[in-house]
Amino acid sequence: MDAITNLDPISPEGIPPLDEPARQYYFIAKCRQWVQAYTEENGRPPRACVTTFGCQMNARDSEKLSGILKQAGYQLTEDENADLTVFNTCTVRDNANQRVYGRLGKLNGYKRWNPRMKIALCGCMMQEADVVEKLKKSYGFVNLIFGTHNLYKFAELLFAALSSEEMIIDLWKDTDRIVENLPTERKYPFKSGVNIMFGCDNFCSYCIVPYVRGRERSREPKEIVREIEQLSAQGVTEIMLLGQNVNSYGKNLEHPVSFAALLREVEQIDGIRRIRFMTSHPKDLSDELIQTMAASDKLCRHLHLPLQSGSTGILEKMNRRYTREQYLNLVQKIRDQIPDIAITTDIIVGFPGETKEDLEQTIDMVRQVKFDNAFTFLYSKRTGTPAAAMKDQVPKVQAQEGFDRLLKVVQETAREQAAKDQGRILDALIEERNETTPGYVTGRLSNNRIVHVPGDEALIGKIVPVSLEECHGFYYTGRLA
C-alpha cells in the first residue's frame, strides 16, 4: 500500500489491525484523536521536535518519524523545548553517546517546567543494553525508548507513551521485517534519500553498527522503484540510495539482484535527473558497477569509498578484507573508466597497534589516491567490538599527532583536486538560500562539491549551469552561466 495522506476515513475505534502498515495508520489516527483533544484544551496543537544524531540512514529515519508526527497533527519545530522531543541517536563513537546524555540533562530542565512533556529516545544507541540500563537508572524522566528494528512502530509506541506515565521500553535484538509506505516529512522537496537495504554483515572489528542495525536485509527492487516513481511524481529530481554497504545489495533476496542492475532500473524512471548512493565497501565494488557508472548520465560523479587505513596490516586487524594494493588497483580502475569521478573516503587514526610506519603508509595513500575529501577520525574504543579488547591501544597524544599530520595532507590534496575545476562550467542543483551571504544561493555539483552563486529563492530545486570562478578549497564561488 502507498503512504496515506488522508486519515479521515481511518477509524481509531475498535481493534487495531494486525497487518502492517495498516496497524500503524490506525495508531496514527489514535494519536491524532489525542492531539485534537490537546488542541481544544490548550488552544494550540502540541509541538514536536525530532533531533537527529549520526548518518544519512538516521536522517532518513527521522524524516519518517517527522512524517508520522505531522500526520498525527503535531506542529513540527526545531526547538527541543517542545511538548514531545525525540532524539534519534547514533552510537558509532563514544562521544556520540556522551552528547546525548548531555542533551538529556537539558531536556530534564525543560520537563520540570512542563511536566506533561514527553521525551522519546530511539536509534542505534538504544540497541546497547548498558545504555538502556543507565537510562532506567539515571534518566527516569524519559518516557519512551525504542531501537532501530521497530522504528516503523513509532505511532503505536507514541500512543502508548501518551496514555501512560511509565517509561515504555520496546527493543528488538534483530528482525527480518521491512515495513515501508509510512508518512515521510522530507527536508527538501526536490531531493530524497531512499533506503534500499538495512543492516550490515561486514563486522569490521572497530564498528558497532552490525550489532545495533542487525544483519543485511535488502528491499525488493520493485518496491524501491515504486517508491522512487512516487517521489518523482512529487517533484523530486535527485535521490540518494542508502545502505550500510550498497555493494552487497540484493544478495539475500529470493531472486538475487546486483546493485548495478538496480541502478540501471532506477535510471529509467522519468523525472529523476540525479542518482547518488552510499556507502560502498571496497571489498566488493564490482566491475559491473564501475561500467554502469561510466555509461550513465544520471549517476553522480562522486564515490564515497572508505579506506580506513593505508596499512595492509592494520586493514587485516580491522577485518576490512582488502589490502593496500587492492584498494589502489580499484581506484586506478575507477579513474581509468570515469576520469571525472570525485572520490571521498573515511580514515581512522590511532587504531590499536598502529605504528608510525602504518601512519606513513596511510599518508602515502592519501597522496597517491588524491582524495577529493576525507573524513578523518581518531579511533574511538567501542565496548562490544573486537577492537576494544585488542592490546596495544595507541596513546592519545601519539594518535592526535598522527591525526593532525594526516589532516594537513588531506586538506592539501582536497584543495589541489578542487582547483582543477576552477574556471569550468558545471551543473549545480540549487539547494538553499545562503545564510551568510545575502543575495546568494548554494548549490551542489554532481561531484558533491558546494558552490555559492548570486541568485534568489526561485532557483531552489533547479539544476542550472554555473561558472566556477574561484576555488576556496572545499567550495567555490561563481555565477550562473
Query: What is the CATH number for 435?
Result: 2.40.50.140
Please state, in angstroms and rounded to a whole number, the distance separating the CA atoms of residues 235 and 353: 51
* Shared domain check, 221 and 149: no
* Shared domain check, 465 and 344: no
* Shared domain check, 226 and 369: yes
* Shared domain check, 341 and 266: yes
- Burial of 315 by CB count in 10 Å (0-12 exposed, 13-18 middle, 19+ buried)? buried
Grid cell listed for 217: 536485509
pLDDT of residue 381: 86
Residue 192: in which H helix or E strand, if any? strand 191-195
199 in Cβ contact with 244 (< 8 Å): yes
Using the 3D structure, point to which of 419, 436, 470 is the last residue of a domain.
419
pLDDT values of the chain reduced to their tens digit, one per residue, 481 residues: 556 666 666 778 888 999 999 999 999 999 999 999 999 999 999 999 999 998 888 999 999 999 999 999 999 999 999 999 999 999 887 778 899 999 999 999 999 999 999 999 999 999 999 999 999 999 999 999 999 999 999 999 999 999 999 999 999 988 888 888 899 999 899 999 999 999 999 999 999 889 888 899 999 999 999 999 999 999 999 999 999 999 999 999 999 999 999 999 999 999 999 999 999 999 999 999 999 999 999 999 999 999 999 999 999 999 999 999 999 999 999 999 999 999 999 999 999 999 999 999 999 999 999 999 999 999 988 888 999 999 999 999 999 999 999 999 999 999 999 999 999 999 999 999 998 999 999 999 999 999 999 999 999 999 999 999 999 988 999 999 9
pLDDT of residue 56: 85
* Shared domain check, 117 and 211: no
Q: Torsion over CA of 70, 76, 82 and 88, rounded to 10 degrees?
A: 80
- CATH of residue 365: 3.80.30.20
Please state, in angstroms and rounded to a whole number, the distance separating the CA atoms of residues 26 and 288: 44
* Shared domain check, 26 and 140: yes
* Number of compact structural domains in the chain: 3
Grid cell listed for 351: 587504531
How far is CA 130 from each of CA 93, 104, 126, 135, 152, rounded to the nearest angstrom? 15, 17, 9, 9, 24
* Shared domain check, 466 and 327: no
Please state, in angstroms and rounded to a whole number, the distance separating the CA atoms of residues 285 and 306: 12
Grid cell listed for 353: 597497534
* Shared domain check, 141 and 259: no
274 in Cβ contact with 298 (< 8 Å): yes
How far is CA 452 from each of CA 16, 66, 144, 437, 476, rounded to the nearest angstrom? 51, 29, 42, 9, 6
* Shared domain check, 289 and 217: yes
Q: Confirm whether pTM is higher than 0.85.
A: yes
What's the domain range around 471? 425-480
* Shared domain check, 232 and 308: yes
pLDDT of residue 96: 82
* Shared domain check, 352 and 293: yes
* Shared domain check, 157 and 111: yes
